[in-house]
Chain A
Amino acid sequence: MEKTKRAPLGQNTVKSKLFYALLLFIPTLQFIVFYIVVHVNSFTLAFKVFPDGTARAWEWDKAFSNFTVWFNADKVRFLSAISVSLRAYLISLIVGVPLGLFFSYYLFKRMPGAKFFRVILFMPSIISAAVLGVIYKMVTDNVVRDLLDQWFGLSVNFWGDVRYRFGTIMFFSVFVSFGTSVLMYTNKMTSIPPEMLESAQLDGASGIKEFWYIVLPQTYSIFTVFMIQSIAGCFSNQYSVMMLLDGGYSEPTDATPMGYMLWHGVEKQAGNVALMTPYAALGVMITVVIVPVTFLARYLLNRFGWKEE
């Protein structure tokens, strides 16, 4: 029997091409303007100065003052922000990532309350960081502080005292970080062949051994994705600092990460681009560092990590 000839979608007809081009015109234009032009412009902005302080007239910054300012007048802010970002990243890595994996293992093993805990762990991801941040700040200021005073006679100023401020911010940051990662890890764990787990159990493997030798290697691809994502976001993550620290009126060096410093630096200029050029330069410097680091991390994780079988 003769086979009916089928026409694949977009089979070089003029109408198909026109349809294709018309629908893609606006998204392509949007991408060109708001990605390519924006980033090229961001790069050039880093080398411009606006002598009269407004965006009307500019000239090339022959002294690279937008860059050098971060090593002179703003050196303390710059170095502190790097330090805070790196410490915050390490805490997320050392505390947040293992906890996320352990929580996922608990849910995967369908231990008591697993379904309930899954929903609860996801909740902070859907409630606004503004809402949870304000509540957390008020609770630490009004409840925890009072109770510590009443019960233990301790006077702890979580937000005013340099000794506690960063730790209090990081507790919140880790606390709200489990939603998506736990879901992804748990979904991945469910794809582990049951016979693999059963044979480990028959061999008498403990929970920790099972976790280390079977579950962790089998979820390594997701782990890698999150690791690379966290490295890439190391200097852009704001850790909800804006909500937690007086709505941006203060920018204490002990607790201001790079992501927040960049964002707030632009926001407080109220639209005056002439005053934002040092932040464009800072963005360029960070991008130049973080891109190769991200690729190196990706290479190392793939080269030396577990191989899923």
Chain B
Amino acid sequence: MKRKHDKFSPLTVIMLIVLVLYCLTLFGMLLWAVMQIFKDSYEFPYNRIWFPKLKDFTLVNFSGMIEYADMEWLVTMKGSRSVPITEIIFNSIVYSVGGAFIHVLVTCIVAYLASKYKYWYSRILYGTVIIVMIIPVVGSQASEIEILTKLGLYNTRYSFVVLKAGFVGIYFLVFYEMFRSIPNAYSEAAMIDGANDWYVMVRIYMPLIRNVFMTVFLITFITFWNDYQMPLLYMPDYPTLSYFLFKLQTSSKAIELADGRFVDLSYPTVKMAATVVLMTPILIIFITLHDKLMGNLTIGGVKG
């Protein structure tokens, strides 16, 4: 039966007011960002807040963004170079999809082995994850860069494959608990029928947790898609969209486009176009799957 709303109390009335203000602020900011992308650099100084007039709507800011990417904006160890927008998008997809898949797959497999194989090493794995999560270690980036350099992985496009292939983190515990809650009778019956370890893992247990796997994958994908700090630090010559936005927002150049129009990067218009490009895939995923993403979250991270 559907539960009715509780009665208002002074506390909930105050909260309602604060929440409404919160929503207005958030939507106000996002709406403002969308309004700016349809203005050109000539109009912005005279109309810094509202939509442009219908006749003045323009998509020049997207052209400006692409043009900026084609300029030598990226300062690398070998000098400045341009990075076309297609390459930036490619880097973003490889980094976020590939990184998320590798990280979640490794975490899931290690959690499966730790929870289902009662070896001494499984107990060590579980204890290690707990200890690492409890002890906060700060400032190891310098060392990471040194190790990556020695391994020949620093500043390479695919170094994230190695960096993300770790299993320590909250999602290990999520998968561990999930596998532990599935009765061993499944594997025991399959073993009696002659199944081997690989078959049991891939054909019996993995399908049972596919919803959790997808949820964790999506959350991790979103995190990596939005991440600009790790690419900036460990693979600075292979910018992702988030990294590109970060660099773009520090620029104040005026760019002349092929058709003679100008865009001025000191105004927010081009920067807002880049934020919309970066935000759109994530918003689509969120709007489509927010029930799955949020509904499955609990203290362990995700529930089945």
What secondary structure prevails in chain B residues at the interface with A? helix
Known contacts A24-B110, A35-B168, A106-B15: does B142 contact A42 (CB below 8 Å)?
yes
**Is the beta-carbon distance between B118 and A128 smaller than 8 angstroms?**
no
Flag whether A282 is at the interface (Cβ < 8 A).
Answer: yes
- Do residues B299 and A187 form an inter-chain contact, with CB atoms below 8 A? yes
A308: Cβ under 8 A from any B Cβ: no
CB atoms of A16 and B117 under 8 A apart: yes
| A82 interface hit (Cβ, 8 Å) | no
Inter-subunit contact A184/B298 (CB<8 Å): yes
- CB pair A20–B246 under 8 Å, yes or no, is no
Is B191 interfacial (CB 8 A cutoff)?
yes
Residues B140 and A283 in contact, CB atoms below 8 Å apart: yes
> Across the interface, which residues of B come within 8 angstroms of A247, CB to CB?
246-247, 249-250
A172-207: contact bitstring with B at CB < 8 Å (1 yes, 0 no)?
A: 000100001001100110000000000000000011
- Residue pair B9, A23 in contact (C-beta under 8 Å): no
Q: Does A153 contact B (CB under 8 A)?
A: no
As a 0/1 sequence over residues 91 to 110 of chain A, the CB contacts with chain B under 8 angstroms (1 = contact) are: 00000000100110110011
The docked-state distance in angstroms from the alpha carbon of A259 to that of B28 is 30
Q: Tell me the bound Cα distance from A130 to B242 in angstroms.
A: 7
- Secondary structure at the A interface, as helix, strand, loop or mixed, is helix
Contact call B25/A128, Cβ cutoff below 8 A: no
| Chain B residues within 8 Å of A23, by CB | 109-110, 113
Which of the candidate stretches B60-68, B209-217, B229-237 sits at the interface with the other chain?
Answer: B229-237
Known: A8-B118, A121-B22, A124-B26. A242 touches B229 (CB 8 A): yes
Within 8 A of B (CB), among A109-159: 109-113, 117-124, 126-132, 134-139, 142-143, 146-147
Q: Are B165 and A30 in contact (CB-based, < 8 A)?
A: yes
| Contact indicator A20/B6 (Cβ below 8 Å) | no
Beyond A55-B149, A267-B232, whether A38 also contacts B140 by CB under 8 A is yes
Q: Is A83 an interface residue (CB 8 A)?
A: no
Let me know if A7 is at the binding interface, CB within 8 A: yes
| Partner-contacting stretch, out of A71-79, A160-168, A285-293 | A285-293
A183 surroundings in chain B (CB, below 8 A): 294, 297
User: Is B16's CB under 8 angstroms from A112's CB?
Assistant: yes
CB closest residue in chain B, given A281: B139
- List of B residues within 8 angstroms of A112 by Cβ: 5, 16
Among candidates A17, A103, A128, residue contacting B226 with C-beta atoms closer than 8 Å: A128
Please pick, from B117, B228, B294, the residue contacting A118 in the complex, using a CB distance under 8 A: B294
Q: Given A19-B197, A31-B166, A207-B10, verify A6-B188 contact (CB < 8 Å).
A: yes
Listed residue (B4, B141, B233) with the most chain A CB atoms within 10 angstroms of its CB: B141
**Pick from A121, A136, A147: contact of B29, CB under 8 Å:** A136
A117 contacts across to B, CB distance below 8 A = 19, 22-23
Chain B CB within 8 A of A47 CB: no
In whole angstroms, what is the CA distance A30 to B167 when docked? 9
Q: Is B180 at the interface (CB under 8 A from chain A)?
A: no
Residues in A whose Cβ lies below 8 Å from that of B222: 126
Determine if B272 and A35 form an interchain contact, defined as CB atoms under 8 angstroms apart.
Answer: no
For chain B, which range describes its interface: under 10, 10 to 19, 20 to 34, or 35 or more residues? Answer: 35 or more
The complex places the Cα of A143 from the Cα of B50 at a distance, in Å, of: 10
Let me know if A246 and B48 touch, CB within 8 A: no
Question: A211 contacts the other chain (Cβ, under 8 Å)?
Answer: yes
Please report the C-alpha to C-alpha distance between residue A132 and residue B132 in the assembled complex, in whole angstroms: 31
Contact of B119 with A128 in the complex, beta carbons under 8 Å: no
The one of B8, B48, B146, B184 that contacts A41, using a Cβ cutoff of 8 Å: B146
Check A106/B25 contact, CB under 8 A, given A143-B32, A271-B154. no
Q: For the complex, what is the distance from the CA of A56 to the CA of B121, rounded to whole Å?
A: 38
Complex CA distance for A187 and B299, rounded to whole angstroms = 8
List 21 interface pairs A-B (beta carbons < 8 Å), by A numbering.
Answer: A9-B116, A23-B113, A24-B113, A42-B140, A105-B12, A110-B4, A117-B19, A117-B22, A123-B286, A130-B245, A146-B49, A175-B22, A187-B297, A188-B299, A225-B299, A242-B229, A267-B233, A271-B155, A273-B149, A282-B139, A284-B139
Give the 8 A-B residue pairs with the shortest CB-CB distance, closest first. A283-B139, A207-B9, A128-B226, A276-B142, A247-B250, A42-B143, A232-B136, A10-B117
Residues of B near any A CB (own CB < 8 A) = 3-6, 8-12, 14-16, 18-19, 22-23, 25-26, 28-30, 32-33, 36, 48-49, 77, 106, 109-110, 113, 116-119, 121, 125, 128, 132, 134-147, 149, 151, 154-155, 162-163, 165-168, 184-185, 187-189, 191-192, 196-198, 200, 222, 225-226, 228-229, 232-233, 236, 242, 245-247, 249-250, 268, 271-272, 275, 278-279, 282-283, 286, 290, 293-294, 297-299
